[in-house]
A and B are shown apart, each in its own frame.
Chain A
């Protein structure tokens, strides 16, 4: 039986209304066919390609073109992008706001990325902030956050979150001599701060649809940092902290039916426990036995979890 035949049956039996049948059957017959996603991907790839080319060109021709030409042209592009966004933007709302048009989000994203290129060029050539140059990152991150919230743009939010991560990494590096230690500390601080900020904004009902972006990035950074702490036994607290974090990830994932977080919790948690369990073990057979048995335990646990979630049909 085809989907159309089934739809027809539902219409005749009254399971769906006539207007619903008309709308859905048009999609099934492909009388209406959306290329929304394809156009968005073209725009995204276009922006990425443009910025990569701009960075490459500036790198190769900076001596020939001169500072004025580079800074001037980048400023012009950034200014035009921001002017367009300011002129065309819909009023701010804490709720999700649709873009005024398809290209709007990508023009803002392009402007933010080019601004990053320009700031980077300025600092490298003029050393305006000298040893405090990392404040450029903080400034960029704050600007990107402001743009992401003002114009409701998830691409710019991701950009802001990664720029903030870079600032955390550089800032904390000044207090530590061991590179891994500072990176881990920075990552933990960043992960905790980002997750807390995302949850706080969610509770404040400000752009609640942004929460998942915060949590995906924060969870991965935090769990990866904790795993590295377990691997390099820097403190006895890493394992309990790791177990608590994976527990929260799995619990939250199940509770709110966001199963990506269950996957993060299981995979990172398994790696951390395995590192601890196999520490000092040099016997290949016992290693394989551990992998076999522990893998089976995880599979059984997941089957029970999936069973409980009731996706049986």
Chain B
């Protein structure tokens, strides 16, 4: 059923690893070239940035093409819209298949076509149920979920599997049931996916190349967490989250029973701890990172959960905690034999880590705690929020 064979996926995985080992100085350039030649497959790949631009422009073409058809036909009836969307979906699917037949692999072009085929098919089927907004939303989410799964199983797009999980988890929120039931249904869905992934891991300990199993597993953990953290949904996420994960007439803070509230509070601490323990035990980076994210979110929302006052110095304490934890872990690892403990080390082993850090440092230009300055900042103004406005260091501060 898959477009790409297991052998092709394995060779691509190993060739990527060979490049990384060579960049990290573990292989000579000549060795790297020879091994990469040995791992050759009849597939055409491109660089990540070109892939992104190709995805973007293919999406633009597809949207413009369908809009042109709409303006030419001027559909009025639901059946006409349905026909246009379904036809567009099938054409995009056929073109994506054609791209794969021409040996494209993660090229951006065939990806955009495949993704839009799922989008159009979902919209087409949703149009069939357009008599009520609830049934239309459910149809859209359900077909989107199935479409995402199809993309994953056919083309191997792991992000499509993750997106399809998100769509499926939104379905309970369209049903006219209590908010606790909605959340529990969504949790049950993510837990089922997680159980399936764990069962697969039990059967096949080595993750098949291109399966994205660890990513899907980590996404399931995160999904369960997001459904259970009641304060996160209202405190941090904005309208897009509420659009699908809340009923239209529901208040932003759902009314729940005390037992449910307390249980979810316990879970927002148990989940990161359990995920981190499993991640460290299996040395599963994705699960470790997701667990760290969950722990950070729990730390950030804990006071709201308990109804305590949020103070301005809370971020200072959080910052000190993070810095202290990082330094203590580094010191603890360094004091181990050869700077390692149970195989864990704080030393950089691969060049990709340095590249990621360099990217973070460039991105930090936009992510500094004080927003970029406007050229109109006036020092005479009163003390305002922001701790100093400037592109850097808050030096244009308008306290």
Report A109-158 residues with CB < 8 Å from chain B CB. 112-113, 115-117, 119-121, 123-125, 127, 133-134, 136-137, 139-141, 144, 154-155, 157-158
CB neighbours of B26 from chain A (8 A): 20, 23-24
Q: Is the CB of B315 within 8 A of A49?
A: yes
Kindly identify which residue among B15, B325, B368, B399 contacts A121, using a CB–CB cutoff of 8 Å. Answer: B399
A154 CA to B56 CA, complexed, in Å = 30
A34 to chain B, nearest CB (A): 4
Contact call A120/B10, Cβ cutoff below 8 A: no
Assembly CA distance A158 to B153 (angstroms):
42
Q: A16 with B31: in contact, given A34-B346, A125-B399 (CB under 8 Å)?
A: yes
Q: Is A298 an interface residue (CB 8 A)?
A: yes
A159-B393 CB under 8 A given contacts A53-B319, A58-B399, A59-B399: yes
Contacts of B325 in A (CB 8 A): 42
Q: Is the CB of B357 within 8 A of A40?
A: yes
Instruction: Count how many chain B residues have C-beta atoms less than 8 Å from C-beta atoms of the other chain.
Output: 111
CA distance A46 to B388 in the complex (A): 19
Stretch at the interface among B57-65, B75-83, B115-123, B229-237: B57-65
**B106 CB to closest chain A CB, in angstroms?**
11
**Quick check: A288 and B322 within 8 Å, CB to CB?**
no
| Also in contact, A119 and B61, with CB within 8 A (given A58-B399, A59-B386, A311-B44) | no
26 A-B contacts (beta carbon < 8 Å)? A33-B343, A34-B344, A36-B345, A36-B353, A39-B326, A39-B346, A42-B292, A42-B323, A48-B368, A50-B316, A51-B394, A52-B369, A53-B318, A55-B370, A56-B385, A133-B379, A134-B396, A137-B395, A154-B358, A154-B361, A267-B53, A284-B71, A295-B61, A306-B47, A306-B107, A311-B45
- When distances are taken between beta carbons in the complex, the residues of chain B under 8 Å from A209 are 358
Residue contact A59 to B312, C-beta cutoff 8 Å: yes
- Determine if A120 and B399 form an interchain contact, defined as CB atoms under 8 angstroms apart: yes
B322 A46 Cβ-Cβ under 8 A: yes
A117 partner residues in chain B, CB cutoff 8 A: 370, 387-388, 393-394, 397
Residue of A nearest to B387 (CB): A55
A256 at the interface (CB under 8 A from B): no
Residues of chain B within 8 A of A136, CB atoms compared: 395-396
Nearest Cβ distance between residue B112 and chain A, in whole angstroms? 10
Interface set of A (CB-CB < 8 Å, partner B):
1-3, 6, 10, 15-16, 20, 23-24, 27-28, 30-62, 101-103, 106, 112-113, 115-117, 119-121, 123-125, 127, 133-134, 136-137, 139-141, 144, 154-155, 157-166, 169-170, 172-173, 179, 182-183, 186, 209, 212-213, 216-217, 259-260, 262-263, 266-267, 270, 284-285, 288-289, 291-292, 295-296, 298-299, 302-303, 305-307, 309, 311-313
User: Inside 8 A of B361's CB, which chain A residues have their CB?
Assistant: 154-155, 157-158, 213
Chain A nearest CB from B332 CB (Å) reads 11
3 closest cross-chain pairs (CB), A and B: A55-B387, A116-B393, A120-B397
- Please, which residues of chain B bring their CB within 8 A of the CB of A1? 7, 10
From known contacts A15-B31, A158-B361, A158-B364, infer whether A46 and B392 are also in contact, taking CB-CB under 8 Å: no
